[in-house]
């Protein structure tokens, strides 16, 4: 049985279509990622799955319970961490955790083993008010509060947005350990580089699912020729390549441009072209696609 | 389990209140400030009101009348002249609020023709004050006439003897203390409740509370209980200030009064919850509270303006203002020493309001958003 089952869910706000006929399953014990830019419909999906929002059409089940009819049962077995930091800023770290433990009829002591390695880092600051924590610590506290009642399914809406790179890496390590404890985790993120840390991902854009698979399968399915390229004049190179008929897409990826070609053109011919434009210190190599390449490609196709 | 959760909720809410100086000020600063503001500024009592007299007669009787007015201590004589123009100048300069014009040959007309004229002119740019002054002056002049008439004895005169029951000295505090209690309880209990629930929505914490096994009723009860207790304490503080500082009596049963304060609190609370179900931000909650609660409670409850002198449509609207009934109850118990029997009608009205508002609030409280 799936931990989460979504069948043809549609939801619109006024005239804006937030989700269009979305369907997917999340297996038990899986670390599942919902990957897409802001406004793709990720938060709406989370609100429906956490029983806060009614879908216009379609059905969704969490651990076999219907999100509208059995919402009370779902609310006992899930942990939810909203995208916006939603704890009591004027309560201390300890008071927040205590409060959420109590309303789920448990205590910090009882389930300390679940949050030990997360809350452990926060304990030196347990008398500090939540509003005065750094971004990374806020996320850890929010995760602790969502975990304290030992949920079967954990919903994390953009947990790493606004968090520094080190804390982000730490956070994903923690998710790995939670998964090892058998908790199903559904996480959303706008950062494509985090997609590869999930077991399976769904790429979502303007309310539509573009692709669902393991990150490897998704990147392997990209069959177009792809090159990483750079030269001494980065922006002129980008402009010139974008004007070429052989270039399907040219996107900046950090220090390199990712060039997808559509015509039969060899690496050598590309190099010659760039040289003929007067660039120096040219680097050019064929590469494997990343999730972001696939995402941009699927976006363009839609 | 329910009790433990409930206590945790009340504790959390108390922390919120204690850690926010603004909330604390609204809770305790405002009520006390309001009592004293109303106590010392909005009052119909007066002493030593400045007057100007135009004495066109200048005889013994006119002088006696002037002495009579001044001797009471209510009026202070600023100017005596024989020209009406000087009175007008005094009005324009704002030196006096009332003038008394005694017509020529006053004594002669009074005793011989049994008909003399005294004219009272008031500056009605402040209508209430002008009315109070002329009323008082008229009463004093009538009294003066009676004392002088005994000598000459005018036959067949209608003798009006008025007595002011329950508030013989016409002390303003007797009116405003019940009014302020009604206003403060409505404001604090309803506004603070709607604000605190709207805040949870605005901060996103309401979503977390909803995604928990908590019953919605428990969420609401846990949130409002501290405010009920604080409002109740406020009511006692205001009544205490009324009793000890402004000597407003509590003739009836204190227990009955406090029980009915609780009933009114519940009505205010239900209103606050209802507002919060509609308002998604603290700002909206605040504005709607001020509009729905503060203004009608002040203006249409009979606290400041008598309901009987309102336009008919406003009189009908005043019938749905809870404060109106609560003020009736308060005045009856405090000033008249009424028992429950005498105030049963307004009590029933408040009871019905409570049931309707609670039902509406619970119905509108969303556990799943559409």
Say whether both A58 and A191 belong to one domain: yes
Cross-chain residue pair B211–A91, CB shorter than 8 Å = no
SS3 state at A60 = strand
Say whether both A79 and A115 belong to one domain: yes
User: Which of A197, A65, A129 is CA-nearest to residue B15?
Assistant: A129
Both tokens of A194, joined, read 């985090």
Spatial distance between the Cα atoms of A54 and A51, rounded to a whole number of angstroms: 7
Q: Contacts of residue B367 in chain A, CB cutoff 8 Å?
A: 71
Say whether both A129 and A258 belong to one domain: no
Domain count for chain A: 2
Say whether both A210 and A237 belong to one domain: no
- Contact between B15 and B227 under an 8 Å Cβ cutoff? The reply is no
Say whether both A171 and A286 belong to one domain: no
Spatial distance between the Cα atoms of B315 and B325, rounded to a whole number of angstroms: 13
Say whether both A155 and A87 belong to one domain: yes
CATH code of residue A207: 3.40.50.300
Q: How far is CA A167 from CA A134, A136, A185, in A?
A: 10, 6, 19
Say whether both A238 and A125 belong to one domain: no
Query: How far B294 CA sits from the closest chain A CA (Å)?
Result: 29
DSSP type of residue B116: -
The B-side interface with A (CB below 8 A) comprises 1, 4-5, 8-9, 12, 15-16, 19-20, 203-205, 207-214, 367-370
**Domain interval for residue A275:** 224-301
- Mean pLDDT of all residues in A130-151: 92
pLDDT at A127: 94
Cross-chain residue pair B211–A51, CB shorter than 8 Å = yes
Alpha helices in chain A (DSSP H): 42-49, 71-77, 93-103, 112-122, 135-147, 165-180, 215-220, 234-242, 267-276, 291-301
Question: If you count residue pairs, one on A and one on B, with CB atoms under 8 Å apart, how many are there?
Answer: 79
Say whether both A240 and A209 belong to one domain: no
Q: What is the pLDDT along chain B (370 residues), one digit of tens a residue?
A: 678 899 999 999 999 999 988 888 888 888 888 888 877 776 656 677 889 999 998 888 889 989 988 888 788 888 888 888 888 888 888 888 899 999 888 888 888 887 888 899 998 888 878 888 888 888 888 888 888 776 555 555 566 666 778 777 667 778 888 888 898 888 888 888 999 999 999 999 999 999 998 888 888 888 889 999 988 999 999 999 999 988 889 999 999 999 999 999 999 999 999 999 888 899 999 999 888 888 888 889 888 888 888 899 999 999 999 999 999 999 999 999 999 999 999 999 999 999 999 999 888 888 878 7
Say whether both A104 and A244 belong to one domain: no
Cross-chain residue pair A52–B369, CB shorter than 8 Å = yes
> Does the pLDDT value for residue A265 go beyond 90?
no
pLDDT at B159: 62
Q: Contacts of residue A82 in chain B, CB cutoff 8 Å?
A: 204, 207-208
Domain end call among A219, A235, A252: A219
CATH topology of domain B49-152: abc type-2 transporter like fold (3.40.1710)
> Using CB atoms within 10 A of its CB, is residue B335 exposed (0-12), middle (13-18) or buried (19+)?
buried
Spatial distance between the Cα atoms of B42 and B53, rounded to a whole number of angstroms: 28
Indicate the residue of B204, B214, B368 with minimum beta-carbon distance to A103: B214
DSSP type of residue B309: G
Cross-chain residue pair A98–B19, CB shorter than 8 Å = no
Say whether both A181 and A159 belong to one domain: yes
* A14 shares contact with chain B (CB less than 8 Å): no
CATH code of residue A285: 3.30.70.2070
In the sheet that holds A247-253, the strands lie side by side as: A247-253, A256-261, A226-230, A283-286
Domain end call among A219, A241, A263: A219
Tell whether ipTM is more than 0.95: no
Say whether both A249 and A133 belong to one domain: no
Both tokens of B41, joined, read 């500024």
Domain end call among A192, A219, A246: A219
Say whether both A229 and A156 belong to one domain: no
Delimit the domains of chain B by residue range: 2-42+171-364, 49-152
* Helix/strand/coil percent split, chain B, to 5: 70, 5, 25
Indicate the residue of A52, A88, A104 with minimum beta-carbon distance to B207: A52
Residue with token string 């379609």: A58
pLDDT in tens, A204-261: 999 999 999 999 999 998 888 999 999 988 899 999 999 888 889 999 988 899 999 9
Q: Contacts of residue B20 in chain A, CB cutoff 8 Å?
A: 90
- Contact between B56 and B28 under an 8 Å Cβ cutoff? The reply is no
């Amino acid at each position: 049985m799936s931990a989460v089952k979504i069948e043809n869910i549609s939801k619109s706000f006024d005239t804006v279509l937030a989700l269009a006929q979305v369907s997917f399953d999340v297996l038990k014990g899986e670390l599942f990622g919902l990957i897409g830019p802001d406004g793709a419909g990720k938060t709406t999906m989370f609100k429906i799955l956490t029983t806060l929002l009614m879908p216009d059409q379609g059905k969704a089940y969490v651990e076999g319970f219907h999100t509208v009819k059995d919402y009370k049962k779902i609310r006992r077995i899930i942990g939810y961490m909203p995208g916006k930091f939603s704890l009591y800023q004027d309560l201390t770290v300890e008071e927040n955790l205590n409060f959420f433990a109590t309303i789920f009829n448990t205590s910090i002591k009882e389930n300390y083993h679940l949050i030990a390695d997360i809350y452990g880092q926060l304990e030196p600051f347990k008398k500090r008010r939540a509003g005065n924590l750094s971004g990374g610590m806020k996320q850890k506290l929010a995760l602790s509060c969502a975990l304290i009642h030992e949920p079967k399914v954990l919903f994390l809406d953009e947990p790493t947005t606004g968090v520094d790179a080190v804390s982000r890496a730490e956070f994903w390590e923690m998710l790995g350990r939670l998964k090892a404890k058998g908790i199903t985790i559904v996480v959303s993120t706008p950062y494509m580089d985090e997609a590869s840390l999930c077991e399976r991902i769904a790429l979502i854009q303007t309310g539509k699912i573009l692709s669902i698979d393991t990150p490897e399968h998704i990147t392997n399915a990209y069959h177009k020729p792809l090159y990483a390229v750079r030269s001494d004049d980065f922006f002129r190179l980008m402009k010139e390549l974008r004007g070429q008929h052989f270039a399907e897409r040219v996107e900046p990826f950090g220090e390199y441009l990712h060039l997808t070609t559509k015509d039969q053109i060899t690496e050598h011919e590309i190099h010659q072209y760039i040289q003929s434009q007067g660039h120096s210190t040219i680097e050019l190599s064929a590469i494997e696609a990343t999730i972001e390449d696939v995402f941009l490609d699927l976006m363009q196709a839609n | 389990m329910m009790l433990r959760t409930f206590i945790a909720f009340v504790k959390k809410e108390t922390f919120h209140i204690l850690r926010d100086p603004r909330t604390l000020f609204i809770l305790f600063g405002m009520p006390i400030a309001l009592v004293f503001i109303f106590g010392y500024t909005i009052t119909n009592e007066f002493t030593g009101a400045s007057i100007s007299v135009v004495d066109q007669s200048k005889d013994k009787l006119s002088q006696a009348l002037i002495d009579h007015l001044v001797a009471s201590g209510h009026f202070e004589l600023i100017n005596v002249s024989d020209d009406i123009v000087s009175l007008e100048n005094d009005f324009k300069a704002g030196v006096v609020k009332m003038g008394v014009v005694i017509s020529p040959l006053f004594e002669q007309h009074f005793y011989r023709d049994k008909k003399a004229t005294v004219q009272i002119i008031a500056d009605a740019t402040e209508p209430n004050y002008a009315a109070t002054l002329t009323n008082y002056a008229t009463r004093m002049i009538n009294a003066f006439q009676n004392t002088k008439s005994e000598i000459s004895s005018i036959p067949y005169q209608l003798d009006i003897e008025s007595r002011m029951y329950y508030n013989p000295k016409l002390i303003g505090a007797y009116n405003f203390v019940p009014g302020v209690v009604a206003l403060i309880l409505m404001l604090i209990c309803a506004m603070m409740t709607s604000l605190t629930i709207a805040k949870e929505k605005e901060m996103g914490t309401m979503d977390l509370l909803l995604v928990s096994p908590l019953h919605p009723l428990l969420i609401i009860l846990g949130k409002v209980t501290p405010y009920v207790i604080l409002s109740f304490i406020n009511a006692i503080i205001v009544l205490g200030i009324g009793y000890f500082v402004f000597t407003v009596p509590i003739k009836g049963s204190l227990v009955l009064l406090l029980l009915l304060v609780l009933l009114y609190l519940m009505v205010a609370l239900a209103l606050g919850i209802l507002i919060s179900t509609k308002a998604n931000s603290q700002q909206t909650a605040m504005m709607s509270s001020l509009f729905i609660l503060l203004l009608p409670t002040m203006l249409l409850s009979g606290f400041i303006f008598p309901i009987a002198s309102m336009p008919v449509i406003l009189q009908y609207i005043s019938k749905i203002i809870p404060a109106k009934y609560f003020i009736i109850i308060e005045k009856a118990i405090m000033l008249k020493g009424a028992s429950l029997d005498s105030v049963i009608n307004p009590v029933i009205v408040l009871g019905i309001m409570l049931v309707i508002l609670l039902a509406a609030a619970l119905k509108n409280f969303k556990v799943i958003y559409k």
